[in-house]
Structure 1
Amino acid sequence: MKLSVQTLDAQTAGDVELNDAVFGVAPRADILHRVVTWQLEKRRNPASATRERSEVARTGKKFGRQKGGGTARHGDRRAPIFIGGGKAHGQRARTFGHDLNKKIRALGLRMALSAKAQSGSIVVLDNLDVKDGKTRELAASLAKLNLTKALFIDGDAVNISFAKASSNLVGVDVLPAVGANVYDILRADSLVLTRAAIEKLEARFNG
């Protein structure tokens, strides 16, 4: 697949050929769903456990007499009805992440890239250099390119001037090539890749 390369000023800067092994895979909803579910569950923090009656550090001595005290019968002070006692039916420690085969993860990323390519949602830029790192200039450039909710992927590292200029723009996310992931790609309306990003992504799967 061949796409035209543009600059941030909406000028043509040549063409680039996309590798069909990375950008020409037929997407499958089940694979994409598995990868997105795995990503979101990996983001969840583990649930912390509460201490129940047998786990609180209080005396186990019986509180008062069984009968004749004029109050309800009690065992020790660890009971949940007492201040400082254990939690009744408290939540247990739990982790939500699960393992997913590396081949499935790699396939999901290639399918996500291919889905954007097949829908015509991929824009290729020569680079992400923003003069003086000005947000106003970047906003004007993105308006020319008709990019609102977009994910920008750069090469080894994110362009510093672009990261600075885009930090206050709503709907603009930027990642290095190593951070490309299925969830962020699918949720963006447009996927913007630099030449360096394409080289890194293709090398990642063909290496």
Structure 2
Amino acid sequence: MKVKVQKIDGGSASGDVELNDAVFGIEPRADILHRVVTWQLENRRATARPVRERSDVARTGKKYGKQKGGGVARHGDRKAPIFIGGGKAHGARKRDFEQSLNKKIRQLGLKMALSSKARDGLVVVDSLDIQDGKTKALAAEFGKAGWKRVLVIDGETVNEGFARAAGNLPGVNVLPAVGANVYDILNHDTLVLTRDAVEKLEARFNG
């Protein structure tokens, strides 16, 4: 699959880039993409911190007062929730949301996400070098191109000037190639890849 290479500042770069059909030409499947996105979002959730309930508190179980004549309630256990240091009644329980997913399914999901954008919403640019590195200028270029929700993926590292200019643009996110993931790709209308990003992503699966 050949894609015309553009420039991030609106100009047209010379030449095309050949996309590997094994990475960018796969038929997407909703069930695979759903599994990978669910796995991602569940693993983002932090484990709920449990509290110590009555059975978890290390205090004596000896009856500390007389049954009658004390003028107080007839307690037999210092672990009761009404005492300082006692166990909490109906406390938060430990909940672990971590899921496991086969590596082949995760890789297949990323390929399908890239392939879905290759059909509609993929832009390949020569590099992320911009002249003045101003947010206003970059926003104007994105407006000309009609880009609103944009995910930009660079190579080994993200271009610092571009990342600084795009930092305050709503709906624009920038990632290195190693951070490419299914949820972020599908959650944006336009996917912008640099030449380096294409090489890194294809090498990620071929390696």
Q: TM-score, normalised by structure 2?
A: 0.93
Which residue of the partner structure matches residue 103 of structure 2? 102
Percent sequence identity is 69
Q: Which residue of 2 aligns with 1:197?
A: 197
In structure 2, C-alpha distance between the alignment counterparts of 1:129 and 1:75, rounded to whole Å: 74
Deviation at 1:84, TM superposition (A): 2.6
Distance in 1 (CA, whole Å) between partners of 2:76 and 2:29 is 60
Q: What is the aligned partner in structure 2 of residue 10 from structure 1? A: 10
What is the one-letter code of the residue matched to 2:133?
A: G
Superposition deviation, residue 59 in structure 1: 4.1
Q: Secondary structure at the match of 2:54?
A: coil
Q: Which moved more, 1:68-77 or 1:47-56?
A: 68-77
| Match in the other structure for 1:112 | 113
How far did 1:71 drift?
A: 3.6
Give how far 1:116 is off: 1.1
Q: State the number of aligned residues.
A: 206
Residue aligning to 1:122:
122
Aligned mates of 2:203, 2:118 — CA distance in 1: 18
Question: Which amino acid in the other structure matches residue 200 of structure 1?
Answer: K
Q: Any unmatched runs of 5+ in structure 2? A: none
> In the TM superposition, what is the alpha-carbon distance from 1:57 to its structure 2 partner?
4.2
**2:192 is aligned with what amino acid?**
V
Aligned-partner residue type, residue 203 of structure 2: A
1:1-207 paired onto structure 2 within 5 Å: 1-13=1-13, 14-118=15-119, 120-207=120-207
Map Cα deviations across residues 159-205 of structure 1 (whole Å, 9 max, x no partner): 11011111111110000001000000000011111111111111111
Structure 2 contact 33–112 (Cα < 8 Å) conserved: yes
The answer to whether the 8 A contact 1:9-1:144 is kept is: no
Residue 108 of structure 1: SS of its match in structure 2? helix
Give the AA of the match of 1:87: K
TM value normalised by structure 1: 0.93
> Any idea what SS the aligned residue of 1:123 has?
strand
Q: CA RMSD in A?
A: 1.5
Q: Which moved more, 1:69-78 or 1:101-110?
A: 69-78
Deviations 1:118-140 (A, max 9, x none): 2x100111111122421112111
Distance 2:81 2:51 in 1: 12
